[in-house]
Amino acid sequence: NLQDTVKLNNGVEMPWFGLGVYKAQEGEEVIQAVKAAIRAGYRSIDTAAAYNNEEGVGQAIREAMEENGLSRDQIFVTSKVWNNMQGYETTLEAFETSLKKLNLEYIDLFLVHWPVKDKYKETWRALEKVYKEGKVRAIGVSNFQIHHLEDLLADAEVVPTVNQVELHPQLTQKELLKFTKEKGIVLEAWSPLGQGNLLENETLVSIGKKYGKTAAQVILRWDLQVGVITIPKSVNEGRIKENADIYDFELSAEDIAAIDALNLNQRFGSDPDNFNF
Ligand code: NAD
C-alpha cells in the first residue's frame, strides 16, 4: 500500500510513494496540499531549499501529525541543498537553514540537488558530516549521471542512499537504473508524469482503460513495478487522491514492456551535463 517502504543501504526505510511540492506556493497552497496528502495516506514529502516552501511544509507536517495522530517517525521528509550553496561550509549552513525553516527535529533525507562541477564532492563531505552527527537519517544525490556517481564514489565515505532523477516513460533511465542497483543506490523519479505532458499518451490511456485507471495512475504504478521511488506533484486534493489510488491493480509484463518502449531519452527538464543554474 501507500505506506510500503524500501530499505535504503543504511537500513532506513523510505516510502516508495510521496508528494512532490516543486512550484507549490509557500503558505496556504503548500500547507493545504501536504495536509491533504497526509490525510490521503501519503507519508513522504519531497521539498528543497530552492522551492521556497520549507516553512509551509514543516507547518503542514506538524499540523497533520496532530490531526491524524501520527508521530514524527511516521513521516519522511526530503530536502535538498541548492546550487548556490554548494561547497563544504556553505552546505553545512544550508543544512541548518533547511532544518530551521522546516522546524522539525530532524530531516529524513538530504540531497545534493544538482552535480555542480568542481563543488559536489565538497558538498558531499558536508552531507557526510551532518549524517555522522545524526542530524539527518540518510543522505543522497539528485541529477547524478553514471559518471558523476563514479567520480563521487571514488572518494566518498558514505555511499548515497538515493539518486533522484528525471524519470518517466519518455526517459526510462534503464542504464542508470542498472548501475545504481549494482551500487545499492535507489533511483527516485522526479517529474514522473512528465510535468503533466504524458497524460494524453495513447498507449498509457489505453492501458489504463483495461483497469479503469488514468494515464497518471498507470505511470505511477509502472514506477512501483520497475522499482523506482515516485513523487508526483499536485496541489489539488482530487488529483492527490487519484495519484495514490494505484494499489488495486497490477500491470502485466506486456503492459510494462509497452510502457518501457515509449522511451525516447527525452527530457522535459535540464540536462545534468549541461545546466547553468
Ligand atoms: P510531475 O511529473 O509530478 O507533474 C506535475 C504536473 O502534473 C502538475 O502540473 C500537476 O498539476 C499535474 N498533475 C498531477 N497529477 C495529475 C493528475 N492526476 N491528472 C492530471 N494532471 C496531474 O512534475 P514535477 O512537479 O516536475 O515533479 C514532481 C516532483 O519531483 C516535484 O514536485 C519535486 O518535488 C521533484 N522534482 C525534483 C527535481 C530535482 O531536480 N531533483 C526537479 C523537478 C522536480
Positions marked catalytic: 51
**Residue of 238, 235, 237, 236 lying closest to 25 (CA atoms):** 235
Predicted TM-score of the model (pTM): 0.98
Q: Quote the pLDDT of residue 259.
A: 99
State the pLDDT confidence band at 252, using cuts at 50, 70 and 90: very high
Mutate to test the pocket of ligand 1, among 22, 144, 273 (most ligand atoms within 8 A of CB): 22
Dump pLDDT digits (tens) for 6-41.
Answer: 999 999 999 999 999 999 999 999 999 999 999 999
Q: With pLDDT > 90 as the criterion, what percentage of the chain qualifies?
A: 100
Grid coordinates of 188: 527516485
User: What CA–CA distance (Å, rounded) separates 189 from 59?
Assistant: 25
Q: Quote the pLDDT of residue 258.
A: 98
Residue 42 lies in a domain: yes
State the pLDDT confidence band at 165, using cuts at 50, 70 and 90: very high
Q: Quote the pLDDT of residue 129.
A: 98
Residue 269 lies in a domain: no
As for how many domains the chain has, the answer is 1
Dump pLDDT digits (tens) for 195-245.
Answer: 999 999 999 999 999 999 999 999 999 999 999 999 999 999 999 999 999
Q: Is 269 in the pocket of ligand 1 (CB under 6 A)?
A: yes
Q: Quote the pLDDT of residue 141.
A: 99
Q: Quote the pLDDT of residue 57.
A: 99
Q: Is 21 in the pocket of ligand 1 (CB under 6 A)?
A: yes
User: What CA–CA distance (Å, rounded) separates 262 from 272?
Assistant: 22
Which residue is closest in CA terms to ligand 1's atom 17? 239
What average pLDDT does the chain have? 98
ipTM: 0.99
Q: Quote the pLDDT of residue 179.
A: 98
Residue 100 lies in a domain: yes
Residue 276 lies in a domain: no
Q: Is 142 in the pocket of ligand 1 (CB under 6 A)?
A: yes
Dump pLDDT digits (tens) for 97-129.
Answer: 999 999 999 999 999 999 999 999 999 999 999
Detail the DSSP E strand segments found in 122-191. 136-142, 162-166, 186-190
Q: Quote the pLDDT of residue 136.
A: 98
Atom of ligand 1 nearest to the CA of 243: 18
- DSSP letters, 103-141, are TSS-EEEEEE-S--TTTHHHHHHHHHHHHHTTSEEEEEE
**In terms of residue numbers, what domain contains 172?**
5-260
**Residue 167 belongs to domain with CATH number:** 3.20.20.100
State the pLDDT confidence band at 93, using cuts at 50, 70 and 90: very high
Residue 274 lies in a domain: no
Write down the residue that cell numbers 535540464 correspond to: 270
Question: What is the β-pairing status of strands 136-142 and 44-46?
Answer: unpaired
Residue 277 lies in a domain: no
Q: Quote the pLDDT of residue 224.
A: 98
Q: Quote the pLDDT of residue 5.
A: 98
Q: Is 239 in the pocket of ligand 1 (CB under 6 A)?
A: yes
Residue 266 lies in a domain: no
